[in-house]
Structures are given as structure tokens and as C-alpha cells.
Structure 1
């Protein structure tokens, strides 16, 4: 897992995720943005590239380190928050059916 001052190789991550059957993109959020109680009918992966992001699932919140991957199972309510003072960027990908 990269340290805060290191960068994530986005192309490498996207290639690795594709090999696991996931496809997605890069998302950016302004400070204070909250995506509350989202749910998808497919599995999702999320990885923070820049900023401070917190994800809450099933009543439990976790702070994602830059380069840390989190798996969100299909049909799981989840909330994503930019808790930092600057924009956040994160990769997301959904399992292809």
C-alpha cells in the first residue's frame, strides 16, 4: 500500500481490476461531498488516489489510506464521504456480469 506522499499507478490498478472482471473509472469529489446510502446490484471496488475518504457499510465506517482497496458486496448500502479539506480522487469499478 502506498504511503500518503506516494502515487498510485492508475493504469496498473485498472488492468489488474479488469483481470478480475471489474471495470470502472476515476471519480473526483469536492470537500464535504457525501454520497449517502448507495446500493448497486453488482460488487464494487474502491481505491483512494488523493484526499481523505471515509466509507461506511453496515453501520461501520473506515478511513481509506491512499492505495488501499475496499470491496463492497452487491446489494450493500454504503456511504462515501470526502472528509478532507481538499478534493478527493478515487477509482471505482463494478463487477461485469
Structure 2
């Protein structure tokens, strides 16, 4: 099983193109969410593995009962079939990248 949380995986400032290129090489898509303070995405389950990387701000990511606080450069792996939630816990807009290993599933 892959490690769920990688602190400082990407150098700051986080370069979206570099993250997308690395994820593509592993078979993942790469898209951007821009969320205001307090925005929450609750109790999702996907049929694909998901990666999340914070570009700006701070996210609280809950993955099957484990809680992570991700900051710029951090990466979170969410295994397929796992209930998860993401919340912007920053006082500012948070920009974060997400990708799936089978975006059409």
C-alpha cells in the first residue's frame, strides 16, 4: 500500500505543471480546485485512487478515519473505495491539485 501522506513532496512555490507531469508519468490526471475559507467536500468515495497536493493555503484531509493537515508541497494519497473528506482550514483561499489514476471510472 502506498504511503498516505508525504510532507514536502513538492518544492515551494508548487509548480502545477511539474506536479501534473509527475502524476501523468504515474497514470494520474491533474486538475485544480480553488476553495474559499471553510469550504468542505465531505464523505466522498471514488472507484479510482486519488492524489491531492496543496499549492497554496491549508487543507484538512480525512482518509478512512486518519486526519492529515496538508500545506503547500504536501501530497495525500487516497486509496480507491475509501471514504474521505477535504476541508479548507486556512483563513485564505486554498488552491489544491487533485488527480485520479482512472478518471473515467
Q: Which residue number corresponds to residue 81 of structure 1?
A: 87
- Contact 2:31–2:97 (CA under 8 A) maintained in structure 1: yes
Q: Which residue number corresponds to residue 60 of structure 1?
A: 66
Q: Which residue number corresponds to residue 75 of structure 2?
A: 69
1:57 shift after superposition: 1.2
Alignment of 1:3-18 (within 5 A): 6-18=12-24
Structure 1 unmatched runs, 5+: none
Q: Which of the residues 46, 49, 56 maps onto 1:40?
A: 46
1:52 shift after superposition: 1.2
Secondary structure in 1 aligned to 2:52?
Answer: strand
TM-score (norm 1): 0.91
Q: Which has the higher strand share?
A: 1
Q: RMSD over aligned Cα, in angstroms?
A: 1.4
Number of residue pairs aligned between Structure 1 and Structure 2 = 95
- Contact 2:56–2:71 (CA under 8 A) maintained in structure 1: no
Q: Which residue number corresponds to residue 32 of structure 2?
A: 26
1:69 shift after superposition: 1.1
CA distance, structure 2, for counterparts of residue 78 and residue 70 of structure 1: 11
CA distance, structure 2, for counterparts of residue 55 and residue 94 of structure 1: 16
